[in-house]
Amino acid sequence: MTYDYIILGAGITGLTLLKKMRQKGIVNILALEAEKEPGGLCRSFYVDGHVVDIGGHFFQTKFKDVEDFIFASFPKEKMYKIDPRISKISIEGMDVDYPLESNLWQLPVEKQIKYLISVIRNGEALGKPEPKNYEEWIRWKLGDMICDNYLLPYNIKLWGVTPAEMDVDWIYKIPRVEVEEVLRYSLERQQDVEKYPCHNRPYYPTSGGYGRVMEAVAKDELPYIKLNTKVTDLKYDETTKEWIVNNEFRAKNIINTTPWPDLYEAMGKPVEIKEYISKIKYNKVVVSLFETDDNPTNYHWRYRPEMTEQHHRELYISNFVKDSKNYGVFTETNANRFDADRVTFKGRNLFNYTTPAAYPIPLVGRTAAITAILDFFKPKHLYGIGRWGEHQHHNHDVCIKHALDFVDAL
């Protein structure tokens, strides 16, 4: 049997493709998923009464069709809005609201003066041209103090590469606060949360973790998903113009939602994309659950730029998952920094999970590289959609949007 479409991976991108194709009457389809359940990065674990999301997952989107898509499977009434969102940055020995540049007024006056002078002397304020790598961009946009004390160490911890190696074509995801606004917020001693690029009032399920949403989205798609099936071999049959997956499944079209470096291996390292694949890198993140003796904060999450801490973010789950056991916290740590015997968060470590792939690293040159890879395979009906298929730092709402648009265009 030859499928019309085989989808590699059943995270939210694969699930959206399946659902939307079926709605369109395309039913000769199959998704192959390595894990024992669908949902990918948006899943949750339930450990001793605690909820652990694979990374803090929240839903807020500017796309109406994406909202409709989620709420058609998981009714809006089963969600609540996190408002106000309480996210902090640990800096200068205290906790300051996110983003730091809008909340410098929370620092002691002497520190505030130093940070403000540094912001005023930034490259943008001095009229210098916008730099092309991320480290230079941070300095240019926000000044040396915010760069050296917060964003540089934080990004090194999160990504596992230096920001000097990273591009600037993804920074629409971070707040763009102008110098005048930094000064205004400092003088008025308040920030404008509407300036957040995303997640200022995100939705979250009233019960369980974000994985509950994935379970609902996946429910009707399960007959079209083959679980526990890792794609390890992918070949193109020039005679039949069909793809053969794992020497078992045949398809006229393949939609890849898994990391390209892994698929490159499964395809036997095609020489035509060798130079591009070297720019396509991803990292892994360890999600660790801790139980503490009391709840130290009312925060939802806190960023930890200090190099002395292994992890880069703490999520106070019992503060936003309404039926999670008390005093649960999970942390996110780049897998290269993680040492289970030396965790730095103070609490009982109950559970650790390493994501096989967490963040597509926005290296300089990777957008040109992924474009070349997608262009190369398109004539053979092999496509890439979603966080891995497009190798872009997309949130899950953008993955849904691109999957919906892809099927619309068929």
* Torsion from C-alpha of 301, 303, 306, 310, nearest 10 degrees: 60
Token duo for residue 301: 């999450």
Pick from 87, 149, 186, 258: which binds ligand FAD (CB under 6 A)?
258
User: Smallest distance from the beta carbon of 120 to ligand FAD, in angstroms?
Assistant: 33
C-beta closer to ligand FAD: residue 108 or 268: 268
What is the pairing mode between strands 87-91 and 94-97? antiparallel
| Residues between 1 and 30 with contacts to ligand FAD, criterion CB under 6 A | 8-14
C-beta closer to ligand FAD: residue 33 or 215: 33
C-beta closer to ligand FAD: residue 120 or 172: 172
What is the pairing mode between strands 94-97 and 328-334? unpaired
DSSP 55: S
Q: What Cα–Cα distance (Å) separates residue 178 from each residue in 113, 116, 322?
A: 17, 12, 37
Q: Token pair 């007959």 is at which residue?
A: 223
User: Smallest distance from the beta carbon of 397 to ligand FAD, in angstroms?
Assistant: 5
List all residues 6 or more positions away from 97 whose beta carbon is below 8 Å from its beta carbon.
86, 87, 88, 89, 103, 106, 191
What is the per-residue binding string for ligand FAD in 158-177, x denoting contact by CB under 6 A?
A: --------------------
User: Smallest distance from the beta carbon of 11 to ligand FAD, in angstroms?
Assistant: 2
How open is the CA angle 304-307-311, to the nearest 5 degrees? 50
C-beta closer to ligand FAD: residue 64 or 189: 64
d(CA 281, CA 369): 11
Whether the CB-CB separation of 81 and 203 falls below 8 Å is answered with yes
What is the per-residue binding string for ligand FAD in 210-239, x denoting contact by CB under 6 A?
A: --------------------xx--------
User: Smallest distance from the beta carbon of 252 to ligand FAD, in angstroms?
Assistant: 19
Q: Which stretch binds ligand FAD (CB under 6 A): 128-136, 272-280, 317-325, 388-396?
A: 388-396
d(CA 332, CA 54): 9
C-beta closer to ligand FAD: residue 183 or 345: 345
Does residue 142 sit in helix, strand or coil?
Answer: helix
Cross-strand partners of 329: 290
Q: What are phi and psi of 162, to 5 degrees?
A: -85, 140
Pick from 21, 396, 401, 406: which binds ligand FAD (CB under 6 A)?
396
User: Smallest distance from the beta carbon of 360 to ligand FAD, in angstroms?
Assistant: 9
User: Smallest distance from the beta carbon of 121 to ligand FAD, in angstroms?
Assistant: 34
List all residues 6 or more positions away from 281 whose beta carbon is below 8 Å from its beta carbon.
161, 261, 360, 361, 363, 366
User: Smallest distance from the beta carbon of 132 to ligand FAD, in angstroms?
Assistant: 25
| Residues between 34 and 93 with contacts to ligand FAD, criterion CB under 6 A | 34-35, 40-42, 55-58
The CA-to-CA distance between both ends of the chain, in Å, stands at 22
With binding defined as CB under 6 A, does residue 209 bind ligand FAD?
no
Interface residues with ligand FAD (CB under 6 A) are 8-14, 32-35, 40-42, 55-58, 230-231, 257-258, 262, 285, 332, 358-359, 386-388, 394-397, 399
